Amino acid sequence: MLSTSDATSLGLATHGEAEPAVFCPAVFTEAPGLMSEILGLLAEGMQLAADLGYRVREEPLGDLPGGGCVVGGRRQILLNLEQGPSERLDQLLDVLAADPATADEPKSRALAARLQGRQA
């Protein structure tokens, strides 16, 4: 179970108790330090995608994993909200790693290392 400080750092609402008001075991399976890193990389990756001209949409997609697509001539990345942050980060990184323009954009060392591991 997450402590109040862990829940607050993850952006979860609490009622002043030790456990968060909203908790999904499927989403929070990683250790708190790793979860913070994943959430940070997810946020940075989404900003990078926006800088590259993608529209990033987080929506419940059922069994579909999400990924890149073009809708109305605009590049989009669909991330499945029913998946945990790690899985959404994987989908986002797969699309960004396949885009050659990603190499020219500034990014953290952590994000650069994750992208490098995905490039062929």
pLDDT tens digit sequence for 65-74: 899 999 999 9
- Predicted confidence at residue 29, as pLDDT, reads 55
- Nearest one of 52, 61, 63, 64 to 95, comparing CA atoms: 52
Architecture of domain 35-116: 2-Layer Sandwich (3.30)
Q: Which residues of 40-54 are buried (b: 16+ CB within 10 A; e: fewer)?
A: ebbebbbebbeebeb
Convert the pLDDT of each residue in 14-54 to its tens digit.
344 444 344 344 445 557 778 899 999 999 999 999 999 99
Cβ–Cβ under 8 Å, residues 103 and 39: no
Task: For 78-99, write each residue's pLDDT tens digit.
Answer: 999 999 999 999 999 999 999 9
Look at residue 79 and give its three-state secondary structure: strand
Q: Name the CA radius of gyration of the chain, rounded.
A: 16
Residue ranges covered by each domain of the chain: 1-30, 35-116
Compute φ and ψ for 85, nearest 5 degrees. Answer: -55, -35
Q: What is the pTM of this model?
A: 0.72
Do 77 and 92 touch, CB atoms closer than 8 A?
yes
